[in-house]
Amino acid sequence: MRVLVGWDEPAELELLVNFLEAAEWSVHVAQRPEAMVEEFSRAAFDAVLFSITFPDVPRAFAAFQEMVRHNGRVPMLAAARPGEVYALSRFIRHGVQAHILRDPDGEWLILLQTILETALSARRAEELRAVTEKLRAEIESVRQLQESIIPRDMPCLAGYVLAARYEPSQIEVSDGQPVVLAGGDYYDAFQLGEQRLVFLVGDASGHGIKACMAIVSMHVLIHQIQENVRRSPAEFISQVNQRLCRQNLVLNDEGFITLVYGIVEQDCLYWASAGHCLPLLQDLEKGRIAELGADEGGGGLPLAIDEQAEYATLVHPLPPRHRLIVYTDGLVEAISGDDRGSQFGLDGVRRTLDRCRRCGPQETLEALFADSRAHTTAGRHDDTSVLILERH
């Protein structure tokens, strides 16, 4: 580490330099305050050590202020004799990070290395906190962009109730404060006339800013080709896949997006899947819960992997007193904080759904999120979305 030194006693300076060099500091000595300022502005230093009487208090203070104006991030250590405390206070008020009292016996030299390293560590910790806050603000702005494309109010067909919810993941950073991450989950629903409801639930691989931008890209793309929603689900997903495959945003780092695209019309579900978690259909009278599409292979490849990928449209009736549950993998992959690291899993989802057979869709949503969150004490490590469509 490099330290710039300005000192007022040549005999003491020699001993000081020997102490610092023995501790593997690279020492650069300035002969005058003006030379110290010039050297500081020309070269990079990890710390500055100076006597407040180098060669007198006014010139040392002027040099100190010039260095702070040039680069206030470098730790400054001021040294003063016991009778110079009043003058030292002026330096402290104007930003000196640390100081040391030069006792007549010279014992202060023993503390010098420790005080320099402590001042340097404190400055780095302060800079890290500043970077953390900036990172938190940038992540928050991207997260808000993601949440802006998730609808608040969604239309629904007569005889049906629709509810959906999104919850982001969280991490803890160096200051122990949680950061709500941007993620790659997405859902939407819109009505075409009075008899047809369209819904989508998607999930970009990974999480963070890249996943968020991938899902925003898909959202924009879907709205650009929304006039084609009257095509079959398989045809629509194929078109979305072909366009995403031509975009580097998703393909970089082997990214992909899973998606369920469904159309509800005349009490039937027409749907297709691109590598997404299979939808669940719950019989609210008998309690049975079926994974739709399990016998058909679970759908095609995720989006943005193969431009020639093929998808199939599946059809299933939606009888009265049944509910459809479409979710992202963050729900089932909530991991316990114990040594086992068990997942909430599909079994956990089934238990919650069975307990909530007499509850409405919104109350069931709350229970699913609460139960998966309670399963882990380590926080939600993947963002999670759930959409529930229930026929009265």
> In b/e form, how buried is each residue of 157-171, taking b as 16+ CB within 10 angstroms?
beebebbbbbbbbee
> Amino acid identity of 308?
Q
Domain-embedded: residue 140: no
Sort residue 239 into left (φ over 0), alpha (ψ -120 to 50) or beta: alpha
Position 118 scores a pLDDT of 92
Rounded CA gap, 381 and 245, in Å?
A: 28
Torsion of CA 93, 95, 99, 101, to 10 degrees: -30
Looking at 68, 99, 128, which one is the last position of a domain? 128
Position 174 scores a pLDDT of 45
The CATH number that applies at residue 273 is 3.60.40.10
Domain-embedded: residue 141: no
Q: Which residues pair with 2 in a beta bridge?
A: 26
Domain-embedded: residue 154: yes
Position 212 scores a pLDDT of 78
Position 378 scores a pLDDT of 62
Q: Identify whether residues 314 and 360 lie together within a single domain.
A: yes
Position 264 scores a pLDDT of 96
Position 177 scores a pLDDT of 59
Residue 42 has which token pair?
Answer: 């020309």
The CATH number that applies at residue 10 is 3.40.50.2300
Alpha helices by DSSP H, the chain: 10-22, 33-42, 57-70, 85-93, 108-148, 209-224, 233-245, 248-251, 329-332, 345-355, 361-375
Q: Identify whether residues 178 and 83 lie together within a single domain.
A: no
Q: Identify whether residues 180 and 67 lie together within a single domain.
A: no
* Other Cβ atoms closer than 10 A to 316: 17
Q: Identify whether residues 364 and 256 lie together within a single domain.
A: yes
Contacts of 139-142 spanning 24+ positions with Cβ under 8 A: 139/179, 139/180, 139/181, 139/182, 139/208, 139/209, 140/180, 142/182, 142/209, 142/212, 142/213
Residue 88 has which token pair?
Answer: 């030292």
Q: Identify whether residues 220 and 337 lie together within a single domain.
A: yes
Q: Identify whether residues 168 and 55 lie together within a single domain.
A: no
Position 178 scores a pLDDT of 60
Domain-embedded: residue 247: yes
DSSP 45: -
Please state the domain count of the chain.
2
Give the chain's residues under pLDDT 50.
174
3-class DSSP assignment, residue 382 = coil
Looking at 62, 97, 128, which one is the last position of a domain? 128
Sort residue 176 into left (φ over 0), alpha (ψ -120 to 50) or beta: left
Domain-embedded: residue 142: no
State the angle between helix axes of 209-224 and 233-245 in degrees (0 to 180), rounded to the nearest 10.
120
Q: Identify whether residues 167 and 48 lie together within a single domain.
A: no
Position 253 scores a pLDDT of 61
Q: Identify whether residues 40 and 169 lie together within a single domain.
A: no
State the angle between helix axes of 108-148 and 209-224 in degrees (0 to 180), rounded to the nearest 10.
20
> In b/e form, how buried is each residue of 100-109, taking b as 16+ CB within 10 angstroms?
bebeeeeebb
Q: Identify whether residues 106 and 231 lie together within a single domain.
A: no
Position 179 scores a pLDDT of 57
Domain-embedded: residue 137: no
Residue carrying the six token digits 């409801």? 197
Residue 266's domain spans which residues?
149-391
Domain-embedded: residue 144: no
Position 379 scores a pLDDT of 65
Looking at 74, 94, 128, which one is the last position of a domain? 128
User: pTM here?
Assistant: 0.68
